[in-house]
Amino acid sequence: MSERLRLMAVHAHPDDESSKGAATMARYVNEGVDVLVVTMTGGERGDILNPAMDRPEILENISQVRREEMDRAREILGIQQEFAGFVDSGLPEGDPLPPLPEGCFATLPVEEAAEPLVASIRRFRPHVVLTYDEQGGYPHPDHIMTHKVSMRAFDTAGDPDAYPDAGDPWQPLKLYYFVSFPAERFDALADVLAERGMENPFAEWVDRIKDRDRPTWEITTRVHCSEYFDVAHEALKAHATQVDPNGFWFAIPNDVVAEAWPTEDYHLVRSLVDTEVPEKDLFDGVREAVRV
């Protein structure tokens, strides 16, 4: 007999879970793993990015609409999901950048903002936690703050002296960063598209971001999950205010994507179990450690 495995993914806004690691989660759910997404904010300050949804009644009720979208995506992926209860910080624009709204997620002390996540970890008891790198995957204030609270929660959830009102201590065994858009993935995709004589809808976008100062993380763990790419796309489309179903993210058939890059990728940050990289399974070392 083995203990049931548990995976937690920590995200900043509703829709992030469907654009980063969604196929991985769908695969593990199908394999009998319990999967929980903790969404740190409600996405209240997110723009409407789908022209078909850009209507006054949607904008006036954006918080409720995004919760309903999250619920549909949760059902599609087969996961559990909960909100940590913080308010979206928005993405400041301008030169100089305006200050963040008072009381929003990214303005809070890390020690305070980590407590709901510690409580979620202690309640759900995940073996593996997924989160963002120091730049948040991209430099949105809420993504960066999600990184900070994830690191603190991982380090303190097992400490009985930390957050004594947040439940019984539980120490996750592994922590990973998402490596969602590695340059190699787009190079491989460009090669397959060229071989097939197909247009590359990402070419302009890749050229635009290639000079940005982004950390390059070693891919330590490649999870083969291409058979769940369609599920991930359906979950992302459930966030109808945030994605245009006719946009370039969906322009390439998933069988072409799978030929070029059939995995979702991660960087192992911390492990309290013995494992060897490269890995093909987020639970390498965990499966042996939790057997009873």
pLDDT for position 213: 66
Residue 292 scores a pLDDT above 50: no
Higher pLDDT, 213 or 155: 155
- Check the annotation: does 16 bind a ligand: yes
- Domain 6-181+216-289: state its class: alpha beta
Q: Is the pTM of this model over 0.85?
A: yes
pLDDT for position 281: 98
Quick one: pLDDT band at residue 237, thresholds 50, 70, 90?
A: very high
- Give tens-digit pLDDT for 92-112: 998 898 999 999 999 999 999
Query: Can you give the three-state secondary structure of the chain, one letter per residue?
Result: CECCCEEEEEECCCCHHHHCCHHHHHHHHHCCCEEEEEEEECCCCCCCCCHHHCCHHHHHCHHHHHHHHHHHHHHHHCCEEEEEEECCCCCCCCCCCCCCCCCCHHHCCHHHHCHHHHHHHHHHCCCEEEECCCCCCCCCHHHHHHHHHHHHHHHHCCCCCCCCCCCCCCCCCEEEEEECCCHHHHHHHHHHHHHHCCCCCCHHHHHHHCCCCCCCCCCCEEEECHHHHHHHHHHHHCCCCCCCCCCHHHCCCHHHHHHHCCEEEEEEEEECCCCCCCECCCCCCHHHHCEC
- Give tens-digit pLDDT for 241-265: 999 999 888 999 999 999 999 999 9
pLDDT for position 262: 98
Average predicted confidence (pLDDT) for the chain: 95
pLDDT for position 82: 98
Percent of the chain with pLDDT over 70: 98
Residue 28 scores a pLDDT above 90: yes
Quick one: pLDDT band at residue 2, thresholds 50, 70, 90?
A: low
- Give tens-digit pLDDT for 195-233: 999 999 998 888 877 766 677 899 999 999 999 999 999
- Report the pLDDT averaged over residues 8-19: 98
